[in-house]
Amino acid sequence: MISGLAGATALIASSVSGAARAEMTSDDLSYARLTYCAALNVMLGQALGASEDKDKAEVKAQSDIFIAQAAALTMVAAAMNQIDPREVEGDVLAQHQAMAQSLRRDGAPEELLQRDLGSCNDLGKAAYEAVESANKG
């Protein structure tokens, strides 16, 4: 499958929505950005999964989407950088822990979501599509 993800950069760039693509720079597909967005998707999925509405179908579905996007971002980061996926998972976990620590500051959660939710969600969707496409091909 990793060889099927070799073209992930082009596939992800073409899958990202038009508005997001216009704002995209080469750093948006860097290893650091992919793992950061994976960590944010994990955090969002976990937050929804632990919320008081966690048993509602739409909340569970959205939580599952964030977790799937995190997994896809991790796979793409591993493939694009020819790194063992377990190493990437470790880096995502470290990003996740750093992110969790930073959210203790007043206003930090709102700032994080305003700054990164849209772009990381778009990148996660594109990575998920790239992985699905590679699995079919």
The whole-number pLDDT of residue 27 equals 56
> What pLDDT score was predicted for residue 68?
97
Q: Are 35 and 89 in contact (CB under 8 A)?
A: no
pLDDT in tens, 15-41: 544 444 444 454 578 999 999 999 999
Would the CA dihedral through 8, 119, 27, 44 be positive or negative? Answer: negative
Give mean pLDDT, residues 76-86: 92
User: Into how many domains does the chain fold?
Assistant: 1
User: What pLDDT score was predicted for residue 14?
Assistant: 53
**CA-based nearest residue to 125, from 68, 47, 63, 44:** 68
Confidence bin at 70 (pLDDT 50/70/90): very high
**What per-residue confidence (pLDDT) applies to 5?**
47
Rounded Cα distance between 69 and 53, Å, is 21
Query: What value does the mean pLDDT take over residues 68-75?
Result: 96
For residue 13, give its domain range. 3-136
Give the C-alpha separation, 16 to 52, whole Å.
Answer: 32
